[in-house]
Amino acid sequence: MELHILGCYAATPRTISNPSGQVLEMKNHLFLIDCGEGTQVQLRKNKIRFSRIRHVFISHLHGDHFFGLPGLVSTFRLLGRDLELHIYGPKGIKEAITLLLKLGDSWTNYPLVFHELESKEPELIFEDDQLTVETIPLNHRIYTNGFLFREKLGERKLNIKTATEYGIDKCYYQKIKSGHDIVMGDGTVIPNQKLTFDPPKPKSYAYCSDTAFLPSIVQQIKNVDVLYHESTFLESEAHLVKKTKHSTAKEAATVAKDADVGTLVLGHYSTRYKSIQPFKDEALEIFPNVELADDGKVFRFWQN
């Protein structure tokens, strides 16, 4: 379970920083979240295998969050990709990407599947047998979603020692892990809780960028393990948040506190600041567990 920060700065790319892009590794998936300019270069620098990326989530259609996507789609073609690529993003993303492919006569030789989003309410956009992904409607200058990744509750863990002591045949082990009691030959019922341990607590990750301070998301992200929340400005520039519809570090920390999250990761910093440390200092006044995203940083929050 890892979070790779490819870029976490606002606006334009610089030689020392990159716009938004990150990879969440969760239950054998590599989810790409936003894809600003330079994302594929950052993927190479971080030694992330392109072929493992099958789902891309784009928060909104501002350039610093998706201008890297056409290049990545084209590179996948050059690499001979044949696996499907699913792209989740606001309505219009299909038109934007396919127009470039059409003009360049560069249609992909792999299935490119678009899932265009319009709802202003949270909706389930991906699910398999291990996890779900929901949208988190945000408040920005254009239609924008965050994304909430949640593991499903796993199987119970078999207590092999106890199962052996009861003389239970191995053919029943999968049934036990699925939560069933066992009836012995003499009719004795062995409760499942005697034969198993609780499964690990399902893990969760919320990505919220870009957005103005939005208390209404608190209920949806309540108790998530990790919240990535934009913090474009410090309180000293709070006068800018209204017209830009961004947040300060203090506002991000307030959301984290009210939602009782495990860890707050700050990012999407304005490049006007010489250091990002003041963002952490400001957030710590509100919320105790704060981390700073930075290009190339890898977070391993969920090692068992």
Assigned domain for 33 exists: yes
Q: What is the DSSP letter of 17?
A: B
Q: What is the pLDDT of residue 278?
A: 98
**Bridge partners for 290 per DSSP:** 264
212, 241 Cβ separation under 8 angstroms: yes
Are 172 and 88 found together in one domain?
Answer: no
Are 47 and 94 found together in one domain?
Answer: yes
Which residues make Cβ contacts (< 8 Å) with residue 196, sequence separation at least 6?
Answer: 156, 157, 158, 159, 176, 177, 179
For residue 233, give the nearest of 267, 265, 208, 270 by alpha carbon. 270
Q: What is the pLDDT of residue 126?
A: 98
Assigned domain for 39 exists: yes
* CATH number, domain containing residue 290: 3.60.15.10
Full-model pTM: 0.92
CA torsion sign, 78 to 82 to 88 to 89?
Answer: positive
Are 191 and 210 found together in one domain?
Answer: no
230, 146 Cβ separation under 8 angstroms: no
Are 149 and 225 found together in one domain?
Answer: yes
Per-residue pLDDT tens digits for 140-182: 999 999 999 999 998 889 989 988 988 898 988 998 888 899 9
Residue 242 belongs to what H/E stretch? Answer: helix 241-244
Are 18 and 137 found together in one domain?
Answer: yes
Task: Give CA–CA dist 276/271, Å, rounded.
Answer: 9
Task: Give CA–CA dist 138/252, Å, rounded.
Answer: 13
Are 209 and 220 found together in one domain?
Answer: yes
Across the range 120-132, mean pLDDT stands at 97
Assigned domain for 77 exists: yes
Assigned domain for 112 exists: yes
Per-residue pLDDT tens digits for 246-294: 999 999 999 999 999 999 999 999 999 999 999 999 999 999 999 999 9
Domain residue limits at 288: 2-154+200-299
Query: What's the length of the chain?
Result: 304
**Bridge partners for 4 per DSSP:** 23, 298
Across the range 209-214, mean pLDDT stands at 98
- Reported confidence tier of residue 232, pLDDT bands at 50, 70, 90: very high
Are 134 and 266 found together in one domain?
Answer: yes
Give how far Cα 287 sits from Cα of 30, 107, 119, 213, 262, Å.
29, 48, 31, 15, 10
Per-residue pLDDT tens digits for 13-43: 999 999 999 999 999 999 999 999 999 999 9
Mean pLDDT for the chain? 95
Are 118 and 141 found together in one domain?
Answer: yes
Task: Give CA–CA dist 235/254, Å, rounded.
Answer: 13
Does residue 5 carry a pLDDT above 60?
Answer: yes
Most confident of 162-166, 192-196, 293-297: 293-297
For residue 258, give the nearest of 294, 212, 222 by alpha carbon. 222
Are 175 and 144 found together in one domain?
Answer: no
Q: Give 248: exposed, middle or buried? Use CB within 10 Å, 0-12, 13-18, 19+.
A: buried
Does residue 198 carry a pLDDT above 90?
Answer: no
Task: Give CA–CA dist 142/208, Å, rounded.
Answer: 14
Are 47 and 163 found together in one domain?
Answer: no
Are 245 and 178 found together in one domain?
Answer: no
According to DSSP, the β-strands at 189-190 and 29-35 are unpaired
Edge to edge, the sheet with strand 226-230 lists: 124-127, 131-137, 145-151, 204-208, 226-230, 263-267, 290-292
According to DSSP, the β-strands at 145-151 and 204-208 are antiparallel
Per-residue pLDDT tens digits for 57-104: 999 999 999 999 999 999 999 999 999 999 999 999 999 999 999 999
Assigned domain for 127 exists: yes
Are 211 and 134 found together in one domain?
Answer: yes
Q: Active site includes 64?
A: yes
Assigned domain for 264 exists: yes
Assigned domain for 304 exists: no
For residue 200, give the nearest of 261, 135, 130, 290 by alpha carbon. 130
Marked catalytic residue, from 34, 64, 225, 295: 64
Does residue 11 carry a pLDDT above 50?
Answer: yes
- Within 10 Å of residue 48's Cβ, how many Cβ atoms? 18
Binding-site residues sit at 60, 62, 64-65, 140, 210, 268
Assigned domain for 62 exists: yes
Vertex 46 angle, CA 45 and 50, to 5°: 95
Does residue 7 carry a pLDDT above 90?
Answer: yes
> Which of 197, 212, 229 is at the close of a domain?
197
Q: How many domains does the chain have?
A: 2
Does residue 238 carry a pLDDT above 50?
Answer: yes
Does residue 304 carry a pLDDT above 80?
Answer: no
Residue 114 belongs to what H/E stretch? Answer: strand 112-117
Does residue 50 carry a pLDDT above 90?
Answer: yes
Binding-site residues for Zn(2+) sit at 60, 62, 64-65, 140, 210, 268
